A and B are shown apart, each in its own frame.
Chain A
Amino acid sequence: MPLATFAGLDEAVADLVHDGDTVALEGFTHLIPHAAGHEIIRQRRTGLTLVRMTPDIVYDQLIGAGCASKLVFSWGGNPGVGSLHRFRDAVEHDWPVPLEIEEHSHAGMANRYVAGASGLPFAVLRGYTGTDLIAHTTNIRTVTCPFTGEVLTAVPAIRPDVTIIHAQQADRHGNVMMWGITGVQKEAVLAAQRSLVTVEERVDEFTPRPGAVVLPNWVVDRVAVVPGGAHPSYADGYSVRDNEYYQRWDAISRERETFQEWLDEHVMRAGGE
């Protein structure tokens, strides 16, 4: 298998993310790859199917910038603050472009990544039962257990064209290490055709850490060293969550004009973070 190579963030995104791709930028509050999201916006990708369990403000930014035509998700909000205004504007008013949605529960999405990582076509769970999600999402079906006859819920594997995550460290060989809340990132990388990991720091050799997740260099395509690349999310050991930024985002994103100004100043005219 080809081994991970180091690249600049702009070069890595240009290589791996194409118009129309299915792209998962995963992260569960912690380690969200914001800088990579901004690079996708700067490169003006369009028609993306964005996948994420918890699309929060970086997806709000991608959606508001017109990069996405579809969102596959289970919870879209600004955690602890409220709505995602750009996401709502896209769903409610088709601005700046219409956004198709495919909506799941967390349990369903987590299992879809597990199936993708496992090379299986679908996952089985007890889920969605009695909810109206079933009527609106054709990707929620049932399967009968061949051993007990019990009817269970089935959801198809997610296989993103590209998964992008942020981690604390890469070693000189391009192996990746992350710790703290690691969410569903390992599964999301293993489920994907291609992967990009932005890291806080490149180290010569890892210091072993109990509980850390290590992704070997033969399942990662590109590593980009982007210190602070998760901000306003955080990287345990390097930064703390910028909760005030999440609160400020509510006002910035509420109107199209203030969002556009923010986008121009902080993403389009910024040369990367």
Chain B
Amino acid sequence: MSDTHAQSVQFVRDTMIPEQDAPITEKGAVKWVRENLFSSWLNAILTIVSILVVYWVLAHILPWMLGGIWVAESLTQCREIRDASGIGYDVACWAVISDRWHQLLFGFYPSGLYWRPILTLIVFGAAIAPILFSGVSRKMLLFSIAAPFLAYWLLWGGSIWGPVAAALGFVIGWAIMTYGEGVLGALASIIAALVVPILYWLFVAGALAGVLQDFLPIGIENIRSDQFGGFMLALIIGVSGIVLSLPLGILLALGRQSDLFIINKCSVIFIEVIRGVPLIVWLFTASLLLNYFLPPEVSFDLMLRVIIMVTLFASAYIAEVVRGGLAALPRGQYEGADSLGLDYWQSMRLIILPQALKISIPGIVSTFIGLFKDTTLVVFIGLLDPIGLSNAIRADSDWNGIYWELFIFIGLCFFIFCFSMSRYSQWLERKLTTGHH
């Protein structure tokens, strides 16, 4: 058998052929271009059209942006400089930004006190770090708890004892929760932890702050809310809304999933009514109607009303997102928690919510991004957010007729914040993936 075979085959290779390089069209840049840009006629046309579009846009925008004029008093002067320099094309007049950037960022906050909002931003960054990143020391969390009061004091100023006295209310509530349970029983301690601080804030806190101020006067210059404006205002409203709406939204979601009839129905009605009506209508309600709902002698700051409205609005959306997460958990998780003998709050805190919130991260963050973008709507009820200020600048005779430069600046500010939020959420999602699907 083998010898016949040997005769019928004239040549048998007994060594391996040395490896050869792939053909030039099948490797490197050429392959990439072939596969990604010119894989078919349609793709080739799309590629060429896209390249032309990109070129056309960049050819118009880049010289306009890079050749921009940074120093001028008014738009007319900008145009004079441009014409004098003999450039044949239109250039941006960034002078409006260098002239008014402080207004766009801080509103009418006194310019000598800009260090206060900047310091607040640093405090905020330090406070949020241990929450966002697990690598930061846990002790920083104590600072995070104190930060809202510090931020309030820095921004609005006044006596330091006001925020301290207010913070004391939370300490009282927490103390009753922790130490009162043995003495009063569970339900009574919860009710007491809610009622005592409210009574304290209503009747004691003001007097206490006054006494302390007399005793040891520490304070900085007081700034009224109507001097707040610009991007700082958007950040204050956005951040307060985000911080306050998350816990409220989680409670609402639990209420909507609950078996307790009254709580369930109330949560459903609240969520559906809030979600059914646009934020702008709620903001007008806050500015026009709130004094109908409150006792005649009570009136409070427009900015505070807006923060409350934005918080309620966002919490309804958060509630729906978290409800989705709660519903997505397999029943076995709930049953497992029950069979371990955990009570409702324990099972929620230890088993259900950590998983449900993890599933809902993308939805929660996109709600936050939406909330942050929606802070621009406050311009309609008379707060000076960046868009309100841009309208004011455009109405000014110096800068009448300018729009691209202002909107690019404002858009960029919002883009940076919103885009980094969405990137953070993607990073967090990847980090929290436990990988059993």
Indicate whether A and B interact.
no
